[in-house]
Every structure is written in C-alpha cells, then in structure tokens.
Amino acid sequence: MTPAGPPPGSSAEPLPEPLPEPLNGPLTGTPAPPPPLISFRDTTRHFPGPDGGFTALDGVDLDVAEGEFTVLVGPSGCGKSTLLGIAAGLVEPSRGEVRLDGRPVRRPGPDRGMVFQQYALFPWLTVRGNVEFGLRTARVPRAERRRRAAHFIDLVGLTDFADALPKTLSGGMRQRCAIARAYAADPRVLLMDEPFGALDSLTRSRLQEQLLEMWERERRTVLFVTHDVDEAVFLADRVIVMAARPGRIHRTVDIGLPRPRTAATRLTDSFTALRTEIWRAVHEQEPRTTPTPTPLEP
C-alpha cells in the first residue's frame, strides 16, 4: 500500500525552527552602534569652601564615540574645563565616574593627550625636542622618535623651524608645536582646553582649518572646549551646550555640515543657522542667581 502524501497545499519538508532573537532585542537589519570610547556617568565635582563651597559639575552624563570631534561650549563657570580635567585624570570627581574604553579613569595616562590654552612648551627644548619629549619618556627608540616627530612637525607646517626654541616662535607657531607634540604621543583621545583662545582672529581661523586637516588624516577622538560659538560649529561633529551654576548639559546639537570643511564653509546658510541656534542656546539660558548643588553623600 502506498503511503499517503502530504495534504494538498502543504510542503513535504518540515518548516525550519524560527531563529532565536539576539540577547539585545529583535533583529532590525541595523547593527548595534559600537560602545562609546569615553563615557561620563553622573559626573559631579564639588569644591569645598568655608561657605559650603560650590558645585562645578552636577550629574553630567555624556558619551563620546571613537573618532568623534565633540565640542563643549557654554558660559564661564559652567564646568567645561573641569569636565576635561576629569577626563584627563587631573581632577577627581566627587561623585560618578568617567570611563575610557570601558575602564575607569583614575589618573593621567598616555592614552590621552592634553593641549592647553597656554602653550606649555619646555623653553630650553627646540620644536623637535618638545615634540619628541613624550616619546622619549615612553622610551620609544630614537629612530622611531625622529620619524614620528618629523611627520607631525611637517603636518603643522613647522619643518623649517624644527631646531628653533619656543621664544623665537609666534603664538600660533607655539600652539602648532603643542598640537604636534600631543599627536606624536599617539593618544586615543585628544583633550583640548581652549587651545586657540589667546590667538588673534586670523591666526585662530587658520589653526582651526589646520587642526581639521590633521583630524581628517589621523581621526583621533577629540574633546574640545571653547567659548567661541563659530569655532564650535566649524570644528564639531556634535556641540554640547553647557549651563552653569551648577555645570550641566543644557542641550546637544548635531552638526551636519559636510566634510572636509574650508573657510568657505563659514559663509554658508547652514553654518549661519547652526551658529544662531547654538548662540541662542548659550545666551538665552534662564539665569540662576544662587548655586543649587546636588547634596553629596559624606
């Protein structure tokens, strides 16, 4: 007797088992974003004093992706530089933490390079000597030291001044040397605290363009502090507008301007609209007459 076949309209093969859902949710066709390189969680800094002190930062939560150029902008006293110091390991948070690649930041390290508003060059060392300094302390072999220093000195346009002392350089040239030194140490993150704040407008604009050219080539993660709204819009992938008393994140603005950016970018309608939006976010915040710090546990 011939066995009966499958009923009409049915398949002879059994249906496959459904695929299990991934642990982080159903399949959507879009890969999950990578974890942030820098992560601030409830980051708070209180400075004690005889009158109770003040809270410079209160409960900041912020993620920075690898390769992202993030700019912090806001009024004086909003904790921008304090947040940068915590990321550098130079300032200890009173509460919360910052993590770099998932590891808590406790102290300064070679994975973070710092560029300050003041040039912070060793006056007795040449341009080459300053750029090589971090490599020498890390015991990088001399030939590799020279190669890396020469590469970044060339990128900032100081090859003809490699043997010059800082006192013979202009302010813009000194800051270019400081940027080359930070890059040469090969950090994962560049922390820049108003590096162009002391320069004249023309020099500042040129160095902003030069910094972006280096960033396009090297793609380091940058966390940059400024008071200058135009500078923030020109440089950033994302602008974090901060508020003061106590310091906290007021608003985040994604900058969708195409790259590479040039001087002509500043003349576009899109640039003007973003500058206006961020200027209002900075200057039209509701003032606080007295600090209202979050109480800290003893």
- How far apart (Å, rounded) are the C-alpha atoms in residues 268 and 233? 12
Q: Tell me, what's the pLDDT at 19?
A: 55
Checking if the pLDDT of 136 tops 70, the result is yes
What's the confidence (pLDDT) of residue 41? 97
pLDDT at 21 over 60: no
Q: Is the pTM of this model over 0.75?
A: yes
C-alpha angle 43/47/48, rounded to 5°? 135
Give pLDDT, residue 34. 78
Residue 240 corresponds to which tokens in the numbers above?
A: 């974090």
Domain spans, the chain: 36-111+223-284
Task: Tell me the C-alpha to C-alpha distance, in Å, between residue 158 and each of 118, 217, 282.
Answer: 19, 17, 36
Has residue 1 got a pLDDT over 70? no
CATH topology of domain 36-111+223-284: Rossmann fold (3.40.50)
C-alpha span between 239 and 58 (Å, rounded): 19
Average pLDDT of the chain, as a whole number: 88
pLDDT in tens, 139-163: 999 999 999 999 999 999 999 999 9
- Residue 285 and residue 250 in contact, taking contact as beta carbons nearer than 8 Å: yes
The CA distance from 79 to 245, in Å, is: 9
Dmax (CA) of the chain: 105
Say which residues have a Cβ less than 8 Å from residue 275's Cβ, sequence separation at least 6: 229, 230, 233
Contact indicator for 112, 100 with CB cutoff of 8 Å: yes
Q: Please report how the helices 142-155 and 127-137 are oriented relative to each other, as an axis angle in degrees rounded to 10.
A: 130
Given this model, what pLDDT does residue 119 score? 76
Give the rounded percent of residues in the chain with a pLDDT score beyond 90. Answer: 74
Gap between the Cα atoms of 189 and 175, Å rounded: 18
**Prior bond to 293 cis, omega within 30?**
no
Place of tokens 């960033």: 215
The whole-number pLDDT of residue 281 equals: 95
Question: Residue 9 has which token pair?
Answer: 């309209």
